[in-house]
Amino acid sequence: AGPIFSIGEIGGSWLMGNRRMPGAAGFGLWHQGGPLDYGDASDSSSEASAAGGYLIAQQRLIDFRYPFDNSGISAFVQMGWSPSRSNIYSTSVGGGLTVFAPMKSRPLDSYGIGLSWAQINDQGALGVMANPDELMVQVYGQIHLVSNLYLTPSVTVLPVPGVRGAQAPSTSALLQLVALF
């Protein structure tokens, strides 16, 4: 038998205010069996296992056309932590906003923006190759085409890249065709 990944999560949900706007939160712990290698070819190391924890929460903030549809704005936050030497990141914090059905004529579209900061693990060879932290911003759209098909463009910018040798901020764009089932 090989390494096993285990995760446990506890959470709950609620409805807020007169409009009964949904929210939810969860806390989890995880464990990855090993051995897990880290470092590069000249300085390879390993640890017997890795572990960590996380917190996630989301809340509907605004309803556009209550009670007629699901349109509105939701916010989310997430945090993660791991003391393990083999993880690239030791701490991360992120959050963002999602707008659902901003136009009444397009009830299945959504758009969002997210921001994430991560502290790079400075143990072993990982710390030699990386800046102390990384900052990422992403915007996306999920545009309903027909039936269960969506066009999902996104742009991701790393104004503070985690790779130490980066000469400038990183920008990437992605266009996906998504089929939900």
pLDDT tens digits along 133-175: 899 999 999 999 999 999 999 999 999 888 877 878 999 999 9
**What is d(CA 164, CA 166) in angstroms, rounded to the nearest whole number?**
6
Cα(12)–Cα(29) distance, integer angstroms = 16
Q: Looking at 95-165, list the stretches that DSSP marks H as alpha helix, in order from N- to C-terminal side.
A: 125-129
Written as six digits, the tokens of 64 are 């556009």
Rounded Cα gap, residues 163 and 88, in angstroms: 11
pLDDT grade for 44, boundaries at 50, 70 and 90: low
Q: pTM of the predicted model, to two decimals? A: 0.82
DSSP state, residue 64: S
Percent of the chain with pLDDT over 90: 65
Q: Helix, strand, or coil here: 126? A: helix
In 3D, which of 130, 112, 109 has the Cα closest to residue 121? 130
